[in-house]
Structures are given as C-alpha cells and as structure tokens.
Structure 1
Amino acid sequence: MPVSKAIGQAAAELGIEAHVLRHWERIGVLAVRRSANGYRSYDDEALERARTVLRLRRVGLSLPEVAAAMAPTRSVAQAVVQAKITSLQQEIIRRKQAIVFLQHTLDCRHRYLDDCPDCVTFVREA
C-alpha cells in the first residue's frame, strides 16, 4: 500500500518550506490529493512531480516556464525548454565577454578606461 506524507514531511524530504509546496499547488504546477479530513496528502506521484518542479526551478525556469515545460503537449514543453537553452547560451556569451573585458582592464596600460580604445569599444558594443 502506498505511503502518503503530510505537507511538512514532504517539504522536509524535498529540502524546501511547506509554503513553497502550497504556492506550487495554488498556481497549478503541483496537484495534491486531499485526505478525508482535507489535509494535503503527498503520495509518490506527487513527490516525484514536486521533485521535477524543483529541478526545473534550480536550472533557472520561472514558475510559468515550469508549468509550460510540464504541459501535457510535448511541443509546448519542448518550445519552453528550447527557449531557456537559447537564453542560457546567450547569457554564457555575455558572461564570457564580461570576463574578457574585465581581464583586459586588469592588464590595461591606460590609467583611465576612457583613455583605452579597446575599453571604449567594448562599452559601446555592450
């Protein structure tokens, strides 16, 4: 017989606060059964879905993106995930450019960044 957990137990197992689980349920990314007395009851399926939400949040998806990524329509889910991949790839490019610029400022022979043509070019392109 499957074992169900109360919200506090489920939250502790997931390493999050109970109010987070309530919020996820309220916005529709998590469906949880209720016991006869109205308490939330987290079975294995609900816990696995919560773990999926948590993983998606940890890789940077917003809650609306999580909801779309968990949509029953595969094409909708794939579009959201592809958009996040593209966004992350663009962020990686921006961060690498920032590192190049900052490294240049460490090595720059000019006293002020405004005096350096390379620094000025980077600022204009950013």
Structure 2
Amino acid sequence: MTIGQAAAELGVEAHVLRHWEDVGALVVQRDGNGYRVYDDRALERARTVLRLRRVGLSLSEVTAAMAPSKSAAQDVVRAKIAALEAEVVHRQRAITFLRHAVECRHRYLDDCPDCVTFVRGT
C-alpha cells in the first residue's frame, strides 16, 4: 500500500508517517522507483507507534521502546509507567485540593490552614 493509503488506514496524515520514518521509529521499504511501500509488517509497526504515542510516549521513547533489545525497551516502558503513576498522584492531590476549595468555609483560600498546607506541599 502507498503512504497515502497507509495514512488513511491509520487515521493520520502522510507527513506524520514520513516524520516517524525520519526519526527512526518506523522503517518502510521502497520500491524500484523509491516510493514507500507499506506491507503488513510496516503497517503493523506503524500501528504500534501510534498506540505508543497515544499512551503518552514521545517519539524518542517510542523508538527506544521498539528497540531490538528487549531489556532496553522494557526500561523505557518502566520509566514511562513510573512517570504516569507520579502524574496520577499529582492529579489526585490536585483534585483533593480543588474539592476542598469548592467547599471551603473560608472566603479566601489563604485564610484556610488546609489550603495553605496544600499549597506549601506539606
């Protein structure tokens, strides 16, 4: 399939696939005229890149996660899991603070000891 057909199948623009190839996240064979040919393997690899991007990996992380060395790939994925877990904790704290702020009996949040504690991070 052509790059246009592959892009349509994946729901991305052709320039995205070219960029993935430029940064090494995607390897695509060329025909005798130099045109990209997306066979089943290239299309599946592109789907994997897309899935990894959608779960928050940067292109450099995607490239590393798809490295031939399984241990190197696992290290990248473990690091991303740790970062996402830290983000979840941060967002959960933010939700807790905002819920308190909505129901806080103090007119100004800096008058509230609970709000001040949250802002100071203690």
Instruction: Give the TM-score normalised by the residue count of structure 2.
Output: 0.98
Structure 2: 5+ residue runs without aligned partners? none
The residue that corresponds to 1:67 in the other structure is 63
Residue 85 of structure 1, aligned match among 81, 84, 95:
81
- Write the letter of the residue equivalent to 1:15: G
Instruction: List structure 1 runs of 4+ shifted beyond 4 angstroms.
Output: none
Structure 1: 5+ residue runs without aligned partners? none
Deviation of 1:37 after TM superposition, in Å, equals 1.0
Q: Distance in 1 between matches of 2:87 and 2:100?
A: 20
Q: Percent identity?
A: 71
CA deviation string 1:37-82 (max 9, x = no partner)? 1111000000000000000000000000001100000110000000
Question: Is 1:30 equivalent to 2:31 in the alignment?
Answer: no
- Write the letter of the residue equivalent to 1:80: V
**SS in structure 2 of the partner of residue 31 of structure 1:** coil
Q: Distance in 2 between matches of 1:68 and 1:33?
A: 20
The residue that corresponds to 1:101 in the other structure is 97
Q: Distance in 2 between matches of 1:27 and 1:91?
A: 27
- Write the letter of the residue equivalent to 2:59: L
The residue that corresponds to 1:117 in the other structure is 113
Q: Distance in 1 between matches of 2:92 and 2:17?
A: 36
Q: Distance in 1 between matches of 2:46 and 2:105?
A: 53
**SS in structure 2 of the partner of residue 57 of structure 1:** helix
**SS in structure 2 of the partner of residue 102 of structure 1:** helix
The residue that corresponds to 2:16 in the other structure is 20
Q: Distance in 1 between matches of 2:60 and 2:102?
A: 41
Instruction: Give the TM-score normalised by the residue count of structure 1.
Output: 0.95
Aligned residues: 122
Deviation of 1:16 after TM superposition, in Å, equals 0.2
Q: Distance in 2 between matches of 1:48 and 1:96?
A: 35
- Write the letter of the residue equivalent to 1:103: R
**SS in structure 2 of the partner of residue 60 of structure 1:** coil
